[in-house]
Structure 1
Amino acid sequence: MSDRSDSETSNGTARRGRVSRVTMDMVAEQAKVSPSTVSLFLRDPDAVSSKRAERIRQAIADTGYTINRLAGALAGSHSRAVAVIVPSMINAFFSETLQAMQEVFETRGYQLLISNSDYDPQRELELLRAHLSWSPAALVVTGSDHAAARPLLEATGIPVAQMWELGNDPFHLQVGFYHEAAGAALAEHLHAQGLEHYLYVGTRMHLDHRARKRAEGFSAWLAEKGQAAQVIALEQNTSQAELSEVFEQIARNGSGPQGLCCSNDVLAIAALFEAQRRGIAVPEQLAITGFGDLPLSKLSAPRLTTVRPFPAEIGRTVATRLLSWIEAGTLPDQPEVVDLGFELVVRESSVRG
């Protein structure tokens, strides 16, 4: 008969031994510094001398110490987390913004809580409620249109930033650019090519307010020149059937030179392939533009004319401004609006000889 180990209960069921959590005091003892010095290092590594900082880093590595963020939230009014809601996790624009934002926040000991609203205002509201239950130090939302969530956002008592779009009534911070202006810049460029018909094609524009505003800016600029732009709103993401619908409309417009402005580069590159499949010369018969300046845009044949936003700079600016208010424990007297602008990148897909 085998001996019963201490890790077993009387009925033979295995019981996990208690694991003691490594404390800040243990790290301090091993690093031969005070617990307050360890605490200061965790909040602001640069505030501790390089020799002490190195001993603390080594002690943390040796002991396997992890910061108890929840304990910090209970001791104070907010956690060391910043909640961020984006409309899409797979969109390269937002991924680059999140990475830049995270790099800045991590230098000050803050972590991001990231959620995806899928362009749904009601889902955004639900996510905001969930994030607020964790007492974040600040909130970041995407876009300027938050009618459903405005009462909740106004009552948070913490800094609220809106990114990727300027307009409407800002909360504490808006960082981005005017999408109407981006649409107008594309319209002006295509108009200079001497075209006869203009189309703007976007996906899910009933939810994607920024794509819709670019369409509005595109149409408004052409209207001032006495030209009409047809706007085609695709319900889903790009598909062969939907592109066929667009090109059937292009065929109905006649044989004269036309301009096709797409709400994003993915759609524009798909249009380039479809034009090639149909034997339509780009840009002689059909000038095509996009938005986003994705890496493939400069590799397509012909290379794609597009608008280049500054996603990393948006993320860094949001994080830097928010950190100044978080660490000061204050809110700005007036909303701050930072217009980072955009760049029109002209390539072969739209320039007619």
Structure 2
Amino acid sequence: MAGPVTMHSVAKAAGVSPMTVSNTFKYPERVQEETRRRVCEVAAELGYIPNHAAGNLASGQSRVIGAVIPSIKNSSFYKYVRGMQDAAAQGGYELVLQIADTKRHEMAAIRTFIGLRVAGLTLVGNEHEDQAADLLRKTGVPVVEAWVHGDPLDMAVGYSSAAATRAMVDHLVAAGRQHIGFVGYAGDVAGRYTERLPAFEQRMREYGLEPHLCHLADEADGFGAGSKALDALCRMGASIDAVLCPTDIVAAGVLFECGRRGWKVPERLAVAGWGDYEIASEISPQLTTIQPNAYEMGHSAIEMVIARSSGLSVQMRTRDTGFGVVERASTRLAPIGVD
């Protein structure tokens, strides 16, 4: 069996210096495009994989960033991860991802990444075990909490779910809806969900509308949560004419239930989702939804980690990536006389 392929092997075969090979993988922006392409081609032919651990020992700085996310079930996290991947690659870093759907699993992931001496960490949300928060403070590893917009352990990037809730209520009221139902999640869920209900109730009161047409669903029900929510809201006695859902998955479930009941959307019921998942633009009618700018959030999170790990000052500890209300057919009535 042949011995391991080294940086010097690649350099000799490509006709460049070992430093050029090193820069090709660590700092690609420092290498001319033609040279970089030749080095990558030779490395691929020889089966060369850069030794990140050796580079870390030599430079004293890791080129690996750890990311912890609670799920990969929805496209918001997919876009978020893609944003992180692109920003890491642009900065010459590698992104290593772990899924942790509980605080205990998140704690284990944090310990693993700190043990690997990563350059920094990105987490989703700001609810952690006390032990995890204490460990992060003591180690001083750069950490960005994403999908939140304030009070970070170190740095944060995200948007206000409360502001987004108010914006969607504004949209529905402007569309002529008066009896708006709210669907949230029950149980121990993240703050990005729990802060929505108070914002909904406040905005409805400001409009002089009934603020208590609310149902808390089981997060595990997926599409099925939509039909259960619509049943519950209808039993409250009001003539519901709009529903604001916690995700596009639940909103799609409401659309399915409307189809079973023979209700036209949006004529009988306007339906709004959250997240701008792929299904939102593919289902019929297309879903009006909150777009969280997930790609920009992920990209910004990695930029902040790289800046801090490189010794640069981060001017703002909290970065607001904003959101958008994407209006589609599920809340938009066609003009009179238009089919």
TM more than 0.5: yes
Work out whether residues 196 and 256 of structure 1, in 8 Å CA contact, stay in contact via their aligned partners in 2. Answer: no
Work out whether residues 26 and 92 of structure 2, in 8 Å CA contact, stay in contact via their aligned partners in 1. Answer: yes
The yes-or-no answer on 1:151 pairing with 2:104 is no
Unaligned runs of 5+ in 1: 1-16
For residues 317 and 239 of structure 1, do their structure 2 counterparts lie closer, same or farther at Cα, with a shift above 3 Å needed?
closer
1:55 and 1:300 map into 2 onto residues whose CA distance is 45
Range that drifts further, 265-274 or 226-235: 226-235
Work out whether residues 223 and 250 of structure 2, in 8 Å CA contact, stay in contact via their aligned partners in 1. Answer: no
Work out whether residues 307 and 313 of structure 2, in 8 Å CA contact, stay in contact via their aligned partners in 1. Answer: no
Range that drifts further, 176-185 or 312-321: 312-321
The yes-or-no answer on 1:138 pairing with 2:138 is no
Which of 249, 261, 265 is matched with 1:282 structurally?
265
Deviations 1:279-319 (A, max 9, x none): 33333332211112223323433332211121111122222
Larger helix share, 1 or 2: 2
- Which residue of 1 is the match for residue 229 of structure 2? 246
- Which residue of 2 is the match for residue 213 of structure 1? 195
Structure with larger Rg = 1
Work out whether residues 201 and 261 of structure 1, in 8 Å CA contact, stay in contact via their aligned partners in 2. Answer: yes
Work out whether residues 138 and 158 of structure 1, in 8 Å CA contact, stay in contact via their aligned partners in 2. Answer: yes
Work out whether residues 149 and 320 of structure 2, in 8 Å CA contact, stay in contact via their aligned partners in 1. Answer: yes
Work out whether residues 206 and 212 of structure 1, in 8 Å CA contact, stay in contact via their aligned partners in 2. Answer: no
1:78 Cα deviation from its structure 2 partner: 4.2
Secondary structure at the aligned position of 1:139 is classed as strand
Task: State how 1:197-212 maps to structure 2 within 5 Å.
Answer: 197-203=179-185, 206-212=188-194
- Which residue of 2 is the match for residue 122 of structure 1? 104
Range that drifts further, 28-37 or 169-178: 28-37
- Which residue of 1 is the match for residue 148 of structure 2? 165
1:96 Cα deviation from its structure 2 partner: 1.3
Which of 243, 247, 251 is matched with 1:260 structurally?
243
1:246 Cα deviation from its structure 2 partner: 2.3
The yes-or-no answer on 1:91 pairing with 2:78 is no
Which of 276, 295, 320 is matched with 1:339 structurally?
320
Deviations 1:319-343 (A, max 9, x none): 22322333x33564x6522212111
The yes-or-no answer on 1:304 pairing with 2:287 is yes
Deviations 1:88-127 (A, max 9, x none): 1222111111112112212333211111122x22221121
2:253 and 2:218 map into 1 onto residues whose CA distance is 16
Deviations 1:115-163 (A, max 9, x none): 1122x22221121111211111110001233353321222232221121
- Which residue of 1 is the match for residue 167 of structure 2? 185
For residues 335 and 121 of structure 1, do their structure 2 counterparts lie closer, same or farther at Cα, with a shift above 3 Å needed?
farther
- Which residue of 1 is the match for residue 204 of structure 2? 222
**Match for 2:36: what amino acid?**
A
Range that drifts further, 72-81 or 60-69: 72-81
Which of 302, 308, 311 is matched with 1:319 structurally?
302
Q: Runs (4+) of structure 1 moved beyond 6 Å?
A: none
Work out whether residues 179 and 238 of structure 2, in 8 Å CA contact, stay in contact via their aligned partners in 1. Answer: no
- Which residue of 2 is the match for residue 63 of structure 1? 46
The yes-or-no answer on 1:291 pairing with 2:274 is yes
Range that drifts further, 52-61 or 274-283: 52-61
Query: Alignment identity in percent?
Result: 31
**Match for 1:349: what amino acid?**
S
Work out whether residues 205 and 211 of structure 1, in 8 Å CA contact, stay in contact via their aligned partners in 2. Answer: no
1:242 Cα deviation from its structure 2 partner: 4.5
1:241 and 1:311 map into 2 onto residues whose CA distance is 25
Work out whether residues 63 and 92 of structure 2, in 8 Å CA contact, stay in contact via their aligned partners in 1. Answer: yes
The yes-or-no answer on 1:30 pairing with 2:13 is yes
Unaligned runs of 5+ in 2: none
**What CA RMSD, in Å, does the superposition of the two structures yield over aligned residues?**
2.6
Range that drifts further, 102-111 or 262-271: 102-111
Deviations 1:223-277 (A, max 9, x none): 3334313332222433676544423333323363432110011110110110121
Work out whether residues 82 and 110 of structure 1, in 8 Å CA contact, stay in contact via their aligned partners in 2. Answer: yes
* TM-score of the superposed pair, with normalisation by structure 1: 0.84
**Match for 2:330: what amino acid?**
S
Work out whether residues 166 and 203 of structure 2, in 8 Å CA contact, stay in contact via their aligned partners in 1. Answer: yes
2:226 and 2:40 map into 1 onto residues whose CA distance is 56
**Match for 2:62: what amino acid?**
S
Secondary structure at the aligned position of 2:267 is classed as coil
Secondary structure at the aligned position of 2:221 is classed as coil
For residues 181 and 240 of structure 1, do their structure 2 counterparts lie closer, same or farther at Cα, with a shift above 3 Å needed?
closer
**Match for 2:152: what amino acid?**
P
